[in-house]
Chains A and B, each alone.
Chain A
Amino acid sequence: MDAIAVAGLEKRYPKGVRALDGVTFSVRGGEVFGLLGPNGAGKSTTVRVLATLTRPDGGRAHVAGHDVLREPAAVRRSIGYVPQQSGLDREATGRENLALQGRMHGLGGPGLGRRVEELLDLLGLADAADRIVRTYSGGMKRRLDIALGLVHRPAVLFLDEPTTGLDPEARVLMWGELERLAVEGDLTILLTTHYLEEADRLADRLAIVSRGKVVVEGTPEELKQGLRGDSVTVELGDGRAADAEAVVRSLAVVHGATLDGRVLRTRVEDGGTAVPGILSALEGRGIPVASVTVSRPSLDDVYLHYTGRDFRREDEEGA
């Protein structure tokens, strides 16, 4: 049975904002599933519905076998929810935060004490356990957030933008932590992210969300392989760049090209054989080339392919 099953989820906010417009996907038990999309795509709203915080206007959702609308209490017992905004008690220590969260889940006595120790160790917070959370770094707070979500050994863990707001170094450390969590036990993890590399690295499978809808669902590899061919990125040197796009488009091996400043991105059948042709065509028209890179399609390309829109531009607009 699927750990999470979502079908046709709809949510409208007052003022007519359609946050969810028929979101559908399913997550198998034990997998790490990513909801990838730009800011404002509806990822957080989806997770909030699954965590019983927000009531949808339409559609159905089951988490760990329980209907989020009809059995919210059972859902809450089965899930850990790590919201984007942490909600820690800043005046309390890490240990105190964990203990209170555990008590609200019905834990107590020596069992609770042992579980708290276990989590402090698991997330590398043992040394900071008795410090006030106000003194924690951003990465430490985030790890404590995750520990809170795990205190009652949930079947499903929701991580809403787990690395947003962390500096790049802390983000990479957090990826390591999350990878370790994912292999422990049979925890199912649903994470939302607007970082393409994060989804690529962490998710076993993912759904790309755009404007309240899932546009495509699959493993990162499947999605990228679904796009035939390679990407050839040409950085143009000083000089004429304007007609570079038209020049390469006229080549038979090139399926598509976009020029962004001095960076020319082309989609070709096979990178290795296409590069010489592209280079000589550009040189022939007197357009200097600074560098050439051949790469497999990235999730950027997948997003562009399925939505016809540029991920980063949409992400900035939605923020």
Chain B
Amino acid sequence: MTEAVAHSWFMLGRNVRNLLRQPIWIVTILTTPLVWLLLYSQLFRRVVELPGFDTASYVQFLTPGVVVMTAFFTGTWNGMSMINDLDRGVVERFLATPARRSALILGHVAQCAVIAIVEAVIVLGIAYALGARIDAGLVGWVVVLGAAALVAASFAGISQGLALLTRREESMIAVANATALPLMFLSSILIAPELMPGWMRDVATFNPVNWGVVAAREVVGPATSWGTVGIHLALLLAFTAATAAFGTFAFRAYRRTL
């Protein structure tokens, strides 16, 4: 167990370092959430005038949504790093060492959570400058960052699994494109649940992306229901464990084909 943690930690260090050496990725990671936040908050500024929003500031409403959405997209594309490692023979090199198998996946998943947290801090900082506040204070920040990390990690697990099963960039891109937007719109990222059609609201209750949004938005708003926060974070945690298991299963399937 401790060895698995240590090896995952080494792989996390490797992945973060390799990322930092590629400036284009840093620029992308830093600017994408900004673009989302600024574009959406301007485009839909007057949407809060509709009944159903309990805030007069759309930025205030949108911030937790953009944090979770950014984390979700980051997770969805995480499998590309595994495709890269497979193509370059990195996975095989480590398979011939005592490196823990789980660490090869968890290192990528953990890196994704770290990126999501960095992006969340940036979004929250800009949102603060635009006037948004987290009413629950410091604990609220922890909840928002935790929700972002869990959403990113859970979808990273799925993405890693798909990467190992398909082993092709094209397949990964197809799956990511086909699922990302539906899951985003089947959530209350952009709009209050009260304004969604009934069936969409129903579907959203089963959408892990929405679980993250609900938990994060709960601590941003004035009257935080900690029960709601707890339930949704627990759901996300369970989902993350399940997708990590899927990633591990896919890794075993991959090794059997060698």
Contact = CB atoms under 8 A, between A and B. Distances in A.
Contacts of A104: 7, 10, 94, 97-99
A51 B10 CA distance: 22
Nearest to A132: B21
Count class of interface residues, chain A: 20 to 34
Contacts of B14: 89, 92, 100
B93 A148 contact: yes
Interface in A96-144: 96, 100-101, 103-106, 132
A40 interface: no
Given A91-B18, A91-B22, A132-B21, A53 B92 contact: yes
B90 interface: yes
Given A91-B17, A148-B93, A53 B10 contact: no
Contact of B90 (A52, A79, A89, A96): A89
A301 B90 CA distance: 38
B138 interface: no
B97 A100 contact: no
Interface string A75-101: 011010101011111111000100011
B18 A81 contact: no
Count class of interface residues, chain B: 20 to 34
B98 A77 contact: yes
Given A85-B88, A96-B17, A132-B21, A103 B93 contact: no
A85 B258 contact: no
A73 interface: yes
Given A54-B258, A73-B98, A77-B98, A83 B18 contact: no
B96 A81 contact: yes
B89 interface: yes
Nearest to B13: A100
Given A83-B93, A92-B17, A106 B88 contact: no
Given A52-B95, A76-B96, A103-B10, 13 more contacts: A53-B92, A53-B96, A73-B98, A81-B97, A83-B89, A83-B92, A83-B93, A83-B96, A92-B21, A100-B10, A101-B97, A104-B7, A106-B98
